[in-house]
Structure 1
C-alpha cells in the first residue's frame, strides 16, 4: 500500500520556520482577523487530526490562533506545517515495499523463492509455457528490465518491482495490478513516546527574536556542532544575523569550527568587507582559525578532516589574514603551521606571504620556518633575521629559521618517562594536560602521582567542559575490570570506531579516585555559578542517556539522541525498522539493504533477517523483500519487523540493525537516504506499512561510508542502544552474513564501552547541575514515584551530590515547583521561566520556558 503525504524536497536545506519548528516546537502564523473563527473551525479540527496521525498535538493557544486565520490562509499554513513535519519524520516519501502485503505475503522459504527466480531467469522463453507452472500465455516481459514474468506464479497485486531482479519497474506496466486494501489501523493505536505539543510562536518580530536566541545558543557552544545543528546554523544566520550591523555577533565564539562557519558567512558579501573584515580579524586568535576559515570558504570542512583545494583569496582578505597572523606569537603560529605543513604551504601560495614581508614580518617568519626558506644576503632574509632576533626562542643564525616545537618537547619527555619534564610544557596548555591524564598517571605510578594531580588541580579551571567530562569518564573506568578492548573514535568525516587490545597497565586506584574527585569538584564549582533554583527535578531514566560527545559525526535525526544512549522498549509493542533511499545521477543504480544480525548472549551469530533470509523463526523477524534499485521520484523502501518475545524464545539476546550499500555506493552520493524505527501496537499486517504516528526515530544516511550500524536491541533487557557508527567494509556485494563476525565485535565492544561508565551519562550531568544549583532535588523514577533530597545547612555541594540517590530521603516536594528540570519526557507542568531539558519535550513550551539541549547542558559549564 502506498502512503501519500504533502511533499517538499527532504534533501534541501530547511527554511527558518522548519528550523524553529524542530528546535522549539513553535509555529509562526501570519496576521489574522477576528472574523474568521467560525469559518475555519472545521479546518482546524481536520489539521489537528492530521497532526495526531504524525505524533503531534496542538496547544490551546495555537488552536485558538489557527481558528482566527482566514480559510485560505489556514489551508496554506497547515499544508506547509504538515510538509515540514512529514520531512522530519520521513512521511514525505513513497514507502511501498517489494511485497505490498508485507509481512503477510513474505515467502516462508527464501531459498525456494530464490530458486524459482533463478529458474525463471535461465529457462523462461517468450511465447512458451511458464517453466514453473506450465501455464500458456501468462508470460510477459516487464519494463524496463525485460525479464519474462509469469503472472500466474508472481502476483502483480503484491509485487511492487520485477519479481526476478527486484528492480523497480514502470508503474504503468500491465504486470502491476492494484494492491489489495490493507486492514485499517486502529484509531486507538498508541501515540509515540516522542509526542510533542506544538505551541504558538508569534508574529514576525517574535520569530526573529527566537531565531536570534537559537543562534546565540549555537554560538555559545564550545564543541563542534552536529551536522543537524550546522544546517540550522546556516538558516539561523540568514534569519537572525545581519552582515551590515554586527551588534548580534558575540565578542568570543568558543567553538572553533562554529567560528569558522560564521566568519565565512560574514565574508560572503564582498561589498561589506569594510564592516566584516575588522570583525573577522578580531575573532582569529590562532593560526588554525585562519586555516579553518579558508577551508570553509573553499567548501571544505572546518574540522580539517579532509584536504580542500583552496579558492582564490581577494587581496583585502589576504591582507587581513596576514595581519591577524602577524599579531600572534610567532612561536605559536609556527607550531600551528607545523601540524599541517602541506595545507599551510598551499595557504602560503594563496596569501602571497613574502609579498608582504615588510608589513607582516612575524607571519613571514613563521612561514619561512615551515618552508625551510634558505637565508642569504637578500632583503627578505634580512627581515627574517631581524624578526627572529626580536622573538625569543627562534634561531636564525644558520641557513634556515628553526623554531623549537612544543610537541617535540612533550613527546620527548613522555618517551623518556620524564613526568616532570612533560608537565612543564603541558601546564602551558591545560587542555592537552587533561587529555593526557591517563598516560601521565601511568608513567608516574602510585608513588609519583602527586605532581600530576597538583598540575591537574591547576589546569582543571581552564579546560573546556567536554574535555573534563571525557577525562572523568575515562579515568574512573580504568579502576574497573578491563573492557574487552579499547575503542577509539578518531576525528573524521564519519563515525568510525577502531578497536584494539588494551595493553595499558591499570591506574593506581587512589590516584584515579583523587583525579576523579578533582574533575567532579570542578564541574560542580562551575555549575554553582549558574542561576540558582529552589527546587530541581530530574528523571532517573536519564542515567541511560550519554552526555553528547563526537557530535561532529552524529546523524541528523528526528530525536537528538547522543551516541551510546540506551532507552527502554515499550512493553507489549513490536518494532519495525525502515529504510528509504533514492538514486541520483552521480550514484547510478544503487542497492541498499536493511538487515538485522541476531546474536545470543555470548555474541555468537545465530541468524539474520535480510534479503538472503527474509524470515527468521517464522514471524519472529520478517523482511519486506529486497529492492535493488531506487529511481526517482519514488525511490525504494525496505522494512524489518521484530517480535521480541518470539526472538527471545529462539535464544536471541541481541539484534543489531545495519544498512549496507550492496554495490558499494557511498550514502553521500544519493539524492535521499534515511532509516529509522517504528514502535507498533497492532499486528504487522494492519494499517499502513509506514505509519508516521508510530515513528520513534528517523535518521539520515549522508556520510561517505557504505555501512551504517544504527542500534542494538537487547531482547532480554527490552532496551535499545543508539550506536550510530559506520562499519568499515571493502569490496562490493555487501551482505550482513558476510560481516557477522566483525559486526559482533563492533556491537559487543561498543555496548561494553557505553555500559562501563567510561562515558559520563546525562543523568550524572543533570544530577551535578541540580546539586550545585538547588537546595531541594526531586528524583522521579520510572514508575512515577519520587525521592526528595534537601541540602542541609552545613552540607557541601560534593557531599550533597553524592547523597542524591541514596535510599534515605527527606520530606516530599512538589515537582511542579521545580524551576530546574532535567527530564526524559516533558510531561510536568513547570512554572514560567523555568530552565528545562527533555529528551522528548512533549508539552513543554519553549516560549514560556528556557529550554536546553543536551549539548547546552555541557556548554553551560564553560570556564568563566
Structure 2
C-alpha cells in the first residue's frame, strides 16, 4: 500500500497527522508562516491544527509543510465530502425555487414551443420533458449566484492532532481493528486486510472470527500457520484467499490452491476437527462440498480428521450440531437437558436466555446456569443481552431486525412476557459480571456529549465517515437551518437517486413529505430532481427547524432507477447545520456535521431521524438502516408506512449507551496515577500516557 494512502487513512480514521519525531531541536521556526497558511486553508473546510501539530509544522522547512499540507487537505476534503463539486438543479436554491405545479407547467410550456422537443416526450411521462433532471447551468454559474458563507462561531471545527511516526500509527490502527471486540464494517474489513499485509505486529487476541480470517490470510501468505480453533475458521480462511465472503453469507467460488496452501489448510483442519466440532459442518454443508473438491483430502492420508469433515458434508458420516441437539430437547420440553447441553457453550446459553426463561419450569435454575455462563461469555454477548432485557417490557409491541447488510424489517412481538423480578435478577447478574471485567480507569474524564452515544455492539452498520455514531445514538442538533445532501456518480448505467424527507407527528402519523413530487412545505424546501449523474449529481433539502409543524423528520435516499448504492462509482449522504443568515453555496464544508458513504443491498437508505424534544430542542437518532424497497421507482410516498414503523421501533428502543459503562467505571476508579478520557473527540492536551477513547475508538470500551 502506498505511503500516501497509509498517511491518508491515519488522518481520516484517527484525525491525526503522522509525523516523524524531530531528530534534534531545530533553530527558529522556518515553517511557521506555511503552517499558519495550512491552518487557515483547513479552517475553510471545518478543520484546524492542534497546538502541538501547529508547533511541529512550524519547525519544518516551508516546502515540507506545503507538500504535507496538500495531502492533509485532500484527505479531510474527502472526509467531509468537499472533494466533488456540489451543483444544485435550481441555481438560486434555496431561493427562487418554483412551486411544484408551476415548475412542471413551465417545462411543459417550453416543450410545446419546440415541436422537435415535444415529439420526444412520452405520453403521460412528465420525466421525459426536455430539460428535466439535468443541470441547466454550470458550477461556475452556481458560484456566481451565491455569496461567500459568513463564518460563525457555531460552525464545525474538527481538530487534527499531532500523530507519531507513520509506521507506529499504522500499527496502532491495525491493532485496534484486529483486536476489536465487535464485528467491523465491510469497509473496515477491507482496510484490515490491507493493513495485515504491511504490519509486522499482531494483537495477542483476535476475538471476532471474521477479523481472524483476514489476519490468517496474511499469515498464510507469509508462510505462517493460521490461528484456528474451529473447523469454520478454516472455511472462512479458504473463502478469504479465494476472494469470497468471509461472513459465509454468500457462496464462494473457490479458486485452485497451490499444494502448499492445500497442505496448510488440511493440516489446520485436521488439528481442530474433533468429533464434537464436526457438528458445525452441516450448517455450511454446500460450501464444504465445494471446498473438498479443491483440497483433495484423499491425497493426504496423514490428515484423517480433515477427511472426516468432507465425509460429514457429503452425508457419509453422521454429525449433529449442538444447536440441533438443543432444539430437539427444547421442542420436547426437556429444558433441563437443553441447559446441560448449553453449559459447554456459555455464549449460546446467554443468547437463548429469553427463550429458556419462557419455556423453563424453573426460572431460578435457568438464572443459575446463566450466572455460571456469564463468567466465560464474551463482553459483547453480555452487553447485548443487557440491552435486550432492559427493553423486554417495552410498550411498543414490535421487534426490529437488521441483517449484516443493515437491511431492516419489523415484526410483531408475540413473545410471552417475563416476570419483572426475573428480569431484574438477570440484569443484576449481568451488571455484576460486566463491572468485574472493566479495568480501573484511574482518573476518569468524560465529555457529557458522549453519554447518550450507543455502545457499538456491532460496527457492521456504520460506514466510515465524519461525525458518525452507532445505531441508536442520540446527538444534539444546534442550529436554525438543517440541510440534507446526497451526492452520487453513476458507474455504467444511468442512475437516479432521490433525496426525500418524511415528516410525522408525535404518533408517527399525519405525514407530510418533500421530494421531487412535492418541492416544498411550509418549512421544508427541495433543491430539484436530477435523473442522471455521469459526472456526479447532488440534491439538497432544507428544513427550517423553528417553523417545523412536525416533531419527527426522517431523511431518506430512494433509488428511483439504475445502480445500487454499492454499485455506483460514488454515493454519500450527510447533513449540514446553519443559521438563518448564513447563505453561501448549497454545500459549505465547514457547516457539515456528518457525512458517510451509502452502501448496502437495500434500495432505500434511512441514515438517521431528527426528533424534537419536549423543550423544543432537536436531536438526531442514528438509524443506519436500509429498506429492501422495489427494484425501481421507489418513492417516499410508497414506503411511508414501513419507514414510520421501522423508525418508531428504533426511536422507542432503549439502547445501551456509553453512560452505562461510565457509571460502572466511576465505581471502579481507585487510582490516580493514570487518566482515562472518553469523549466524541480527543482532548487538546491529554496527560502523558492517558488512555483516550473517542468516537472512532468506542469499540475499545467493550470489555473482553
TM-score w.r.t. structure 2 length? Answer: 0.92
Tell me the equivalent position of 1:8: none
Tell me the equivalent position of 2:162: 200
Q: Secondary structure at the match of 2:637?
A: helix
Match of 1:655 among 549, 553, 573: 553
- Contact 1:33 1:70 (8 Å CA) reproduced: no
User: For residues 87 and 183 of structure 2, what CA distance do their matches in structure 1 show?
Assistant: 38
State the Cα deviation string for residues 750-796 of structure 1 (Å, max 9, x = none). 2112xxx2x311110222223223479xxxxxxxxxxxxxxxxxxxx
Deviation, 1:701, is: 0.9
Deviation, 1:450, is: 1.4
Tell me the equivalent position of 1:727: 627
Tell me the equivalent position of 1:820: 676
Tell me the equivalent position of 1:449: 363
Equivalent residue pairs, number: 694
Deviates more, 1:67-76 or 1:735-744: 67-76
Match of 2:503 among 598, 601, 613: 598
Deviation, 1:118, is: 3.1
Residues 200, 251 of structure 1: CA spacing in aligned structure 2 closer, same or farther, 3 A cutoff? closer
Residues 100, 234 of structure 1: CA spacing in aligned structure 2 closer, same or farther, 3 A cutoff? farther
User: For residues 210 and 703 of structure 1, what CA distance do their matches in structure 2 show?
Assistant: 30
Residues 38, 223 of structure 1: CA spacing in aligned structure 2 closer, same or farther, 3 A cutoff? closer
- Contact 2:468 2:595 (8 Å CA) reproduced: no
Q: Secondary structure at the match of 2:511?
A: strand
Deviation, 1:697, is: 0.4
- Contact 1:595 1:736 (8 Å CA) reproduced: yes
Q: Secondary structure at the match of 1:726?
A: strand
Deviation, 1:237, is: 2.8
Tell me the equivalent position of 2:669: 773
State the Cα deviation string for residues 466-507 of structure 1 (Å, max 9, x = none). 1101111112322x34323011223x3x10222111111111
- Contact 1:97 1:624 (8 Å CA) reproduced: yes
Tell me the equivalent position of 1:550: 458
Counterparts in 2 of 1:404-443, with a 5 A limit? 404-443=320-359
- Contact 2:15 2:160 (8 Å CA) reproduced: yes
Residues 457, 233 of structure 1: CA spacing in aligned structure 2 closer, same or farther, 3 A cutoff? same
Deviation, 1:526, is: 0.6
Tell me the equivalent position of 1:854: 698
Q: Does 1:616 align with 2:533?
A: no
Tell me the equivalent position of 1:294: 238
Q: Secondary structure at the match of 2:498?
A: strand
Tell me the equivalent position of 1:255: 208
CA RMSD of aligned residues (A): 2.8
Deviation, 1:68, is: 3.2
- Contact 2:107 2:129 (8 Å CA) reproduced: no
State the Cα deviation string for residues 683-713 of structure 1 (Å, max 9, x = none). 36x2122111111100001223221101111
- Could you list the runs of 5+ residues in structure 1 that have no partner in the other structure? 1-11, 127-140, 148-160, 242-247, 374-400, 777-816, 840-851
Tell me the equivalent position of 2:650: 750
Match of 1:675 among 553, 573, 583: 573
- Contact 2:347 2:373 (8 Å CA) reproduced: yes
Tell me the equivalent position of 2:37: 46
Match of 2:150 among 186, 205, 225: 186
Match of 1:349 among 293, 301, 304: 293
Tell me the equivalent position of 1:164: 131
- Contact 1:59 1:198 (8 Å CA) reproduced: yes
Deviation, 1:541, is: 4.2
Tell me the equivalent position of 2:125: none
Q: Secondary structure at the match of 2:184?
A: coil
Tell me the equivalent position of 1:311: 255
Tell me the equivalent position of 1:23: 13
Q: Does 1:700 align with 2:597?
A: yes
Deviation, 1:643, is: 0.7
Counterparts in 2 of 1:317-356, with a 5 A limit? 317-356=261-300
Deviation, 1:76, is: 1.6
Residues 60, 407 of structure 1: CA spacing in aligned structure 2 closer, same or farther, 3 A cutoff? closer
User: For residues 91 and 33 of structure 1, what CA distance do their matches in structure 2 show?
Assistant: 37
State the Cα deviation string for residues 117-170 of structure 1 (Å, max 9, x = none). 2343356225xxxxxxxxxxxxxx89xx999xxxxxxxxxxxxx9973222479
Tell me the equivalent position of 1:809: none
Match of 2:65 among 36, 57, 74: 74
Q: Does 1:210 align with 2:169?
A: yes
Q: Secondary structure at the match of 1:85?
A: helix
User: For residues 162 and 694 of structure 1, what CA distance do their matches in structure 2 show?
Assistant: 35
Match of 1:764 among 636, 660, 666: 660
Deviation, 1:723, is: 0.4
Counterparts in 2 of 1:618-633, with a 5 A limit? 620-632=523-535
User: For residues 670 and 25 of structure 2, what CA distance do their matches in structure 1 show?
Assistant: 45
Residues 260, 578 of structure 1: CA spacing in aligned structure 2 closer, same or farther, 3 A cutoff? same
Q: Secondary structure at the match of 2:36?
A: helix
TM-score w.r.t. structure 1 length? Answer: 0.76
- Contact 1:208 1:239 (8 Å CA) reproduced: no
Residues 706, 690 of structure 1: CA spacing in aligned structure 2 closer, same or farther, 3 A cutoff? same
Tell me the equivalent position of 1:847: none
- Contact 1:44 1:66 (8 Å CA) reproduced: yes
Deviation, 1:352, is: 0.9
Tell me the equivalent position of 1:515: 426
User: For residues 69 and 163 of structure 1, what CA distance do their matches in structure 2 show?
Assistant: 56
Tell me the equivalent position of 1:359: 302
User: For residues 732 and 555 of structure 1, what CA distance do their matches in structure 2 show?
Assistant: 24
- Contact 1:185 1:687 (8 Å CA) reproduced: yes
Residues 326, 266 of structure 1: CA spacing in aligned structure 2 closer, same or farther, 3 A cutoff? closer
Deviation, 1:251, is: 4.9
State the Cα deviation string for residues 375-431 of structure 1 (Å, max 9, x = none). xxxxxxxxxxxxxxxxxxxxxxxxxx3234322210011112221011011111111
- Contact 2:29 2:60 (8 Å CA) reproduced: no
Q: Secondary structure at the match of 1:738?
A: coil
- Contact 2:480 2:546 (8 Å CA) reproduced: no
- Could you list the runs of 5+ residues in structure 2 that have no partner in the other structure? 122-127
- Contact 1:644 1:715 (8 Å CA) reproduced: no
User: For residues 101 and 58 of structure 1, what CA distance do their matches in structure 2 show?
Assistant: 34
Q: Does 1:484 align with 2:427?
A: no
User: For residues 517 and 316 of structure 1, what CA distance do their matches in structure 2 show?
Assistant: 52
Counterparts in 2 of 1:798-837, with a 5 A limit? 819-824=675-680, 826=682, 830-837=686-693
Q: Secondary structure at the match of 2:668?
A: helix
Match of 1:584 among 491, 514, 535: 491
Tell me the equivalent position of 1:377: none
- Contact 1:537 1:818 (8 Å CA) reproduced: no
User: For residues 21 and 196 of structure 1, what CA distance do their matches in structure 2 show?
Assistant: 12
Deviation, 1:191, is: 2.8
- Contact 2:108 2:129 (8 Å CA) reproduced: no
Residues 818, 705 of structure 1: CA spacing in aligned structure 2 closer, same or farther, 3 A cutoff? same
Tell me the equivalent position of 1:267: 220
Residues 732, 25 of structure 1: CA spacing in aligned structure 2 closer, same or farther, 3 A cutoff? closer
Deviation, 1:307, is: 1.4
Deviation, 1:238, is: 4.2
Tell me the equivalent position of 1:230: 189
Q: Secondary structure at the match of 1:629?
A: coil
- Contact 2:482 2:543 (8 Å CA) reproduced: yes
Tell me the equivalent position of 1:499: 410
User: For residues 175 and 142 of structure 2, what CA distance do their matches in structure 1 show?
Assistant: 53
Residues 94, 70 of structure 1: CA spacing in aligned structure 2 closer, same or farther, 3 A cutoff? same
Tell me the equivalent position of 2:97: 106
User: For residues 115 and 36 of structure 1, what CA distance do their matches in structure 2 show?
Assistant: 70
User: For residues 481 and 200 of structure 1, what CA distance do their matches in structure 2 show?
Assistant: 46
User: For residues 3 and 600 of structure 2, what CA distance do their matches in structure 1 show?
Assistant: 16
* Structure of greater Rg: 1
Residues 13, 103 of structure 1: CA spacing in aligned structure 2 closer, same or farther, 3 A cutoff? farther
